[in-house]
Chains A and B, each alone.
Chain A
Amino acid sequence: MSHGVLDDIEKCMDSGWTDGLPVIPPYGSLVDPMLEAMGWRGQDVVGVIAEQSIKVRAEQVAAAAVMAGCKPEYAPVLRALTQAILDPLFNVSGVEVTTGGASVLVIVSGPVVAALGFEHEANAVGGANSRVNATVGRFAQMLRLFCGRGGGVLESHGTIGHPGRLSFCIAEHPETVWGPFHTQFGLPAQASAVSIMASEGPNSCNNHYAKIGAEILDTVGDCMMHLGQTAWYYRSSGFVVAIAPDHMDLVRRDFSRDAARQYIYENARRQTDELVKAGRIAIPPLEYAEVEFGAMRTPLKFIEQLTFVECGASGGRFSAVIPRWAGSRNVVCKQIEGL
Chain B
Amino acid sequence: MSKTMTVKLPAKQLMSCGEVSCEVLVNPIPRPEPDPIKITLKPKAPRVTLLDHKKPNSLAILQFTQQILRERGIEVGDMILQKDDASTPMPAALLASLSKEPGLVLCGVSD
Contacts and interface: CB of A to CB of B under 8 A. Distances in A.
Contacts of B32: 52-54, 150-151, 153
A26 B18 CA distance: 16
Contacts of A70: none
Main secondary structure of the interface of B (DSSP, over half): loop
A28 interface: yes
B7 A155 contact: yes
B5 to A, nearest CB: 9
Interface string A7-20: 11001100111000
B54 interface: yes
A295 interface: no
Nearest to A28: B26
A55 B8 CA distance: 21
Interface in A238-294: 282, 286
A122 to B, nearest CB: 31
B73 interface: no
B99 interface: no
A56 B90 CA distance: 21
A20 B28 CA distance: 15
A98 interface: yes
B31 A63 contact: no
A151 B25 contact: no
A17 B29 contact: yes
B49 to A, nearest CB: 20
B35 to A, nearest CB: 7
A151 B29 contact: yes
B85 A327 contact: yes
A51 B89 CA distance: 7
B56 interface: yes
Interface residues of A, number: 52
Interface string A55-88: 1110111111011000000000000000000000
Contacts of A12: 14, 25
Nearest to A26: B26
A4 B56 contact: no
B19 to A, nearest CB: 9
Interface in B13-29: 14, 16-18, 23-29
Contacts of A31: 26
A203 B65 CA distance: 38
Given A94-B88, A327-B88, A60 B30 contact: yes
Contacts of A117: none
A326 interface: yes
Which of B8, B16, B29 has its CB near the most chain A CB atoms (within 10 A)? B29
A147 interface: yes
A17 B28 contact: yes
A329 B86 CA distance: 12
A63 B26 contact: yes
Interface string A163-182: 00000000000000000000
B11 A153 contact: no
B29 A55 contact: no
Interface of A: 4, 7-8, 11-12, 15-17, 25-28, 31, 50-57, 59-64, 66-67, 91, 93-94, 98-99, 142, 146-147, 150-153, 155, 233-234, 236, 282, 286, 325-329
Interface of B: 7-11, 14, 16-18, 23-35, 54, 56-57, 85-90, 110
Q: Which are the 6 A-B pairs with shortest beta-carbon distances?
A: A327-B87, A16-B10, A151-B31, A15-B11, A63-B28, A53-B34
11 contacts: A4-B18, A11-B14, A16-B29, A17-B14, A17-B27, A25-B16, A27-B23, A54-B31, A63-B26, A152-B31, A327-B88
